Structure 1
Amino acid sequence: MSTQHATPASLKVGVVGIGWAGQQHLDAYSRIDGVEILAAAGMEAELLAQVEEKYSIPHVFARWEDMLELEGLDAISVAVPTFLHAPIAVAALEKGIHVLSEKPIARNAVEGQAMVDAARKAGRVLDVAFNHRRRGDIQALKSVIDQGELGRPYYAKAAWLRRQGIPTLGSWFTNPELAGGGPLADIGVHVLDYALHLLGEPKVLSVSASTHSELGPRGLGGNARYTATASSNKFEVEDFSSAFLRLEGGATLVIEAGWASYRKPDDEINFLVYGTDGGAELKVAGNPSPERGELHVFKDNGEENADYAPEVGSNGMHRQVVADFVAAVRAGESEWERHDGSLALNRAVIIDACYQSALEGREVRL
């Protein structure tokens, strides 16, 4: 059990899950001075051997439970299917280990609350990886809004849409007991996060949502990029979702999240906002998504348009997520209590309300 306060020279970390997300965490940790990747856990023996060699990891395990018994762990990343987020995070936090979890925080807000409670009780960091808010174009737009360029935003629309992007037909992604939901829970939580982040974290008062499952149950909507194959799980989640959110202060936010629909071939991540003094639009389209999207700000100067394209920096993505997590851990107890997972829990509460609204066909107040 790690009870000592970690110092910059002694932060020992582990990663549970060695798929794409887990490898992003491993790469990010390997680039930070004074961080030692002490352990990794994963079920894929061949892949585990590869990351063990690549990052010179001294301890590897098939079972995450065994990894948590390792002496000296200060922090772990949890990069596994959603149904395992809460069990692993709670177990680690109870051992005094800081936790960085992949999104969403858990299958639902009840599990998310258990994680937050464990972080608060242990006095440890619980962060959740919302990497898209670290995009350079989203950060540039955030700066524009924060500086008051648009005045008071009153309407926004945000989406992540795919033509054929169901992540592995028949995998855990399409089983609600394992994933917690379909694209609304998977990529929609990113959309919700960056939209509320851009708007300054307004309180969501109510949601009215719809979900549709039209292509996935027919074996459609997957392609080679998403390794779509028939397997053990039926398609029992939505493949498209939309939600209308009423925000405190009178503003409106509309979000869409779709794994599969008959639309343009490119994946698209977007954000549109109208304010009292200006508007803005961001479009990120491509497979895979480009480093920089098209970002435009719409203003007028007297009788003439004064539209412009803000300068956009580079993407932070998972490297910035992990760097921020490490910085929070190193900052000490005064900072730890600010990183208790409550923001990610807020996202889960809203997503749960959206699913409830879609199921019951009514607006749900939060």
Structure 2
Amino acid sequence: MTKLRVAAVGTGNIFRSIHLPAWLANPEAELVAVCDAYKAGAQKIADEHGIKDVYEDYRDVIARDDIDIINVCTPNLYHSEVAIAALQAGKHVFCEKPDAINPAEAVKMAEAAKASGKVLMVMRNNRYRPVSQFLRTYVEKGHMGEVYTGRCGWLRRRGIPGKGGWFTTKELSGGGPLIDLGVHMIDLAVWIMGNPKPVAVSGSVYTKFAGTELSDSVHSSFGSKQENGTFDVEDLATGFIRFENGASLQLEFSWASNVETEGRFVELRGTKAGFSLFNDDLKLFTEIEGTLCNITPQLPKDPGGHKVNINHFVDVVQGRTEPTFTPEQGVDMIKILSAIYESAVSGREVRLD
């Protein structure tokens, strides 16, 4: 079997903890090169895992004819730049979320993928968890009836990642918890709903905890902290999405907020049933024979959505299946996030149609 040759661009925490183990575990992939502007970090990974080639400039990696896949885990600002260059060079691209820091860049990525004929996929790991697959099927088969409203979010009490570094620098990240955490739970909610088209968005953002050093979240270890660094992003965002089919979705995301504990959630309500997914706990609310019933499904053990997502990408590249994520869905996501930031400034609803 000829393995797909993979090169990683960006070797920070998200690559080391999430992407790297998934690539190493896939029997059809071979990680042959790593690249990072901080070359010493890439070299350390290469030494630990027997990877021969280490680069400092992503253009040198992309120029290689023997690379099939570029895995992008750079700061958000560079996602589109690296992905577009790789696609134009005839490589498949798997990119960490968010797709890009603004809609124009997300559109360019989608156009580059279409023109190249190569696969572009952005991490949507929550879609591939057993609970998510169950809920998607449950809705598709009509068990919830018309799904018309819901809410989603991810709230941390104190969990600011890489304070003072690129995470909290808007030029590099594109924003705070909305663009960092919002991609996960908004995508999951909208995907379970059947990907209705967003048509209008409103929102507010707040920065109230830039001075705190407290942390109660493992996620605050992501990124590199910098003393007296930049903090010009929000630490909490709220919002509201209207969809073309009349459905709506409430949003709430924080890195720091006075809540009881950290938690991620999706709740959707339909005419026949509803559900609440909080962290890993799912409850269904429905009516059976005239009696209101709460149901707790027994689901398979979660193998890890990130790993399954990357395995699915490999299946798509190998031509065995159709992608469950499309670049156009990524464009819609970045339009939503950008419009919430725009609405927070204007104080008005922003139309997307």
TM-score if structure 2 supplies the norm length?
0.92
Q: Is the 8 A contact 2:39 2:54 kept in 1?
A: no
Q: Is the 8 A contact 1:39 1:59 kept in 2?
A: yes
Q: Secondary structure at the match of 1:124?
A: coil
Measure how far apart 1:49 and its partner are.
3.3
Quick check: 1:138 aligned with 2:132?
yes
- Indicate the residue corresponding to 1:347 in structure 2: 333
Measure how far apart 1:298 and its partner are.
0.9
- Indicate the residue corresponding to 2:13 in structure 1: 20
Q: How many aligned residue pairs are there?
A: 347
User: 1:190-339 maps to which residues of 2 (within 5 A)?
Assistant: 190-216=184-210, 218-220=211-213, 222=215, 225=218, 226-227=220-221, 229-231=225-227, 233-265=229-261, 267-284=262-279, 293-313=280-300, 314-331=302-319
Measure how far apart 1:294 and its partner are.
1.1
Q: Structure 1 pair 139/335, CA: closer, same or farther in 2 (3 Å)?
A: closer
Q: Structure 1 pair 229/123, CA: closer, same or farther in 2 (3 Å)?
A: closer
Q: Structure 1 pair 34/271, CA: closer, same or farther in 2 (3 Å)?
A: closer
Q: After alignment, is 58-67 or 86-95 more displaced?
A: 58-67
CA distance in structure 2 between the aligned counterparts of 1:25 and 1:76, rounded to whole angstroms: 12
Measure how far apart 1:319 and its partner are.
0.8
Measure how far apart 1:224 and its partner are.
7.5
1:128 to 122, 138, 162: 122
Measure how far apart 1:306 and its partner are.
2.7
Q: Secondary structure at the match of 2:278?
A: strand
Q: Secondary structure at the match of 2:277?
A: strand
AA of the residue aligned to 1:326: V
Q: After alignment, is 315-324 or 342-351 more displaced?
A: 315-324
AA of the residue aligned to 1:173: F
AA of the residue aligned to 1:107: I
Q: Is the 8 A contact 1:39 1:57 kept in 2?
A: yes
Q: Is the 8 A contact 2:158 2:217 kept in 1?
A: no
Q: Structure 1 pair 330/283, CA: closer, same or farther in 2 (3 Å)?
A: same
Root mean square deviation of aligned Cα: 2.1
Q: After alignment, is 227-236 or 179-188 more displaced?
A: 227-236
- Indicate the residue corresponding to 1:119 in structure 2: 113
Measure how far apart 1:133 and its partner are.
2.0
Measure how far apart 1:335 and its partner are.
5.4
Q: For residues 305-341 of structure 1, give each alpha carbon's deviation from its aligned partner in whole angstroms, at most 9, with x where no partner exists.
A: 3321112221432111111111111118x958x9762
Q: Secondary structure at the match of 1:243?
A: strand
Q: Which blocks of at least 5 consecutive residues in structure 1 are unaligned? A: 1-7, 285-292
TM-score if structure 1 supplies the norm length?
0.89
Matched residues, percent identical? 33
- Indicate the residue corresponding to 1:287 in structure 2: none
Measure how far apart 1:65 and its partner are.
2.1
Q: For residues 209-246 of structure 1, give each alpha carbon's deviation from its aligned partner in whole angstroms, at most 9, with x where no partner exists.
A: 11111112x23564674148443532111110111111
CA distance in structure 2 between the aligned counterparts of 1:159 and 1:170, rounded to whole angstroms: 24
